[in-house]
Amino acid sequence: MQRFIPQFVWSLWRALPPRLRARLKAWSGFSPYPRLERLTVPESASTALHIHFATVVGAHRASNMLEPALASYLVARGHKVTVLLCDKALPACLTCSIWKSKASDKEEDTLTESPADQGLCEACFPAALRTWETSGAEVLTLSSLLTSSDKAEVRERCGRLVAGESVVLDGTDFKEDVVAGCLRYLCKGDEESISTELFRRYAEASMMIARAYKNFLSSTEVDCGVWVHGIYVPHGVLNRVFRSRSLPFLNYNTSYRQSRFYFVENDTYHHVFPGESADELGLDKVTGEEIGQIEEYLRSRASGSNDWQQFNNEPLSDTKRGLRELGFTIDDRPTAVMYTNVVWDARLHFRDSVYDRMEDWIADTVEYFRVAPHRKLILRVHPGELISHSVSRSRVVDHPALQDLPENITVVGADSKISSYDLADIADLILVFATKMSMELGRYGKPIICCGDAWVRGKGATIDPVTPDEYLEKLGSQNWQYLYDPSMRDRAIAYSHYIFEEKPIAFPIFDVSGDRKSFTLNPMKLQIEASKTDSSLADFEEAVRKVSV
């Protein structure tokens, strides 16, 4: 949509309060999702399956464009398809954000109104329902799967909870998902900031989802479930519910590369990708032609010309000048470049291996450079702290370790136009925690020390300490280049090929926005793809069939 709207109109729209935008959308009947026509496919499936889309949140754009498209194809192929949407019933969900809540809620780090009371549901459920009703899938609503006794039991249980306690229903503990949901709402990484009121809201939402699916799955046979993320509330809850019943499911999310989505069996990709080994992935079997193709794509990442998620628009053309303006001295001292994550994001997605918290990794690293003036550190704060659906309220620059820095430590803030890729080019050593960018940095031929569960960790492309002491020992090496083996670059490039080219499914059914920060479903492209015998839609159907066996 944005590509067709003048920039000044778009800026005015974005300046309106979120609640007002939601109400205007509801009043106008606007929907970002298209209506779908019945698809024509080459033939019917040989065996029909029941595929369930646990979309739940109608305001999640990616879910409500990809999933109805996939559902319409599966219906045309003869499968039974169901979807569950929240019909304004949850007391908290993914749509909620501290930035949309009352000023008093922000001051108290709490949530006093449900999404319905905030007016968020008016731009959520109706818009998704209009599209899903044209997909051919059977639409279920959350309220229809909950009895009055279910609601009373959940409300009574949650009314006794205190922030940080276990959230157990029918033998399953959803505390991790509740905490994740709270921190995502707060845009903070500190669990101590979660109020009991906020905790109870997300606990109640998790229990409502769990009980609704217990009722649904007790009366219906499902061959495969499909939903986004596999974390937060509600989708992290769904992972636990399906796993407790030994039911297969697929989690997915978008790749940075346009039109591509990752699908992972029976777990969130945040847990699966870091645990895969180089041998499992066959990284030594990538051909020279494939290496050349992926290197071309990796070079394009600096501009984002082949992506639909881009964090650093219009980077500076003169990185060294930008660094000098920050006080960085150009000299012969070896330089390490450190790449952070968004604080609350790192806490949610990854099972840390070297440090429990990214903040502790930052503190140890900065302390080393404070007493090592013969070396320099550039700390690059993730632009996603500011360029995001939820601007972070936990800022790396506020870390106590980053106050009163010596001249050999330079901080490049989240708002800086300095290119993160240019920084890698001038680095002698690269330090990462869990950033996805770490898999791209291997192409620069520099040693990379990984201290969190970045996807590339354990692939033979990075130096992977297992304790803080080992990390500091590597950091203090007399010559950083001795840490490097040229084969690391080959493995990093091979892994990039896997993660950007081999692993995702590319669906040529979307139009990318002008700023490359969103996309829309194109029904005409969907019909063209559905009419092919060998298509990305067929690849998805095969993935469903594989996990359903």
Q: Which residues of 214-237 are buried (b: 16+ CB within 10 A; e: fewer)?
A: bebbeeeebbbbbbbbbbbbbbbb
pLDDT at 5: 57
pLDDT at 469: 97
Q: What is the pLDDT of residues 76-93, one digit of tens each?
A: 999 999 999 999 999 999
Beta strands in 146-223 (DSSP E): 168-169, 172-173
Hey, what are 283's tokens?
Answer: 């990284």
Peptide bond into 234 cis (omega under 30): yes
pLDDT at 352: 55
CA distances from 174 to 171, 204, 210, 419, 476 (A): 10, 10, 9, 40, 41
Q: What is the 3-state secondary structure (H, E, C) of 78-127?
A: CCEEEEEECCCCCCCCCCCCCCCCCHHHHHHCCCCCCCCCCCCHHHCHHH
Distance CA 506, CA 519 (A): 14
Distance CA 420, CA 489 (A): 18
Query: Which amino acid is it at 352?
Result: D
pLDDT at 310: 63
pLDDT at 533: 92
pLDDT at 2: 45
pLDDT at 453: 86
pLDDT at 311: 61
CA distances from 100 to 18, 111, 120, 333 (A): 6, 10, 9, 46
Per-residue pLDDT of the chain (549 residues), as tens digits, is: 444 456 666 667 667 776 677 677 766 667 789 999 999 999 999 999 999 999 999 999 999 999 999 999 999 999 999 999 999 999 999 999 999 999 999 999 999 999 999 989 988 999 999 999 999 999 999 999 999 999 999 999 999 999 999 999 999 999 999 999 999 999 998 899 999 999 999 999 999 999 999 999 999 999 999 999 999 999 999 999 999 999 999 999 999 899 999 999 999 998 899 889 899 999 999 999 999 999 999 988 888 888 886 666 678 888 999 999 999 998 999 999 999 998 877 566 556 579 988 999 999 999 999 999 999 999 999 988 887 667 888 899 999 999 999 999 999 999 999 999 999 999 999 999 988 888 899 999 999 999 998 899 999 999 999 999 999 999 999 999 999 999 999 999 999 999 999 999 999 999 987 666 678 999 999 999 999 999 999 999 999 999 997
Burial of 104 (0-12, 13-18, 19+ CB in 10 A): exposed
DSSP bridge pairs for 265: 250
Distance CA 68, CA 45 (A): 18
Beta strands in 344-428 (DSSP E): 376-380, 409-412
pLDDT at 443: 92
Distance CA 266, CA 220 (A): 19
DSSP result, 289-325: HHHHHHHHHHHHTTTTTTBS--SS-S--S-HHHHHHH
Sign of CA dihedral 420, 425, 428, 430: positive
Q: Please, where are the H alpha helices in 356-486?
A: 358-370, 420-426, 438-441, 468-475
Hey, what are 9's tokens?
Answer: 């109109």
Q: Which residues of 2-33 are buried (b: 16+ CB within 10 A; e: fewer)?
A: eeeeeeeebeeeeeeebbebbbebbeeeebbb
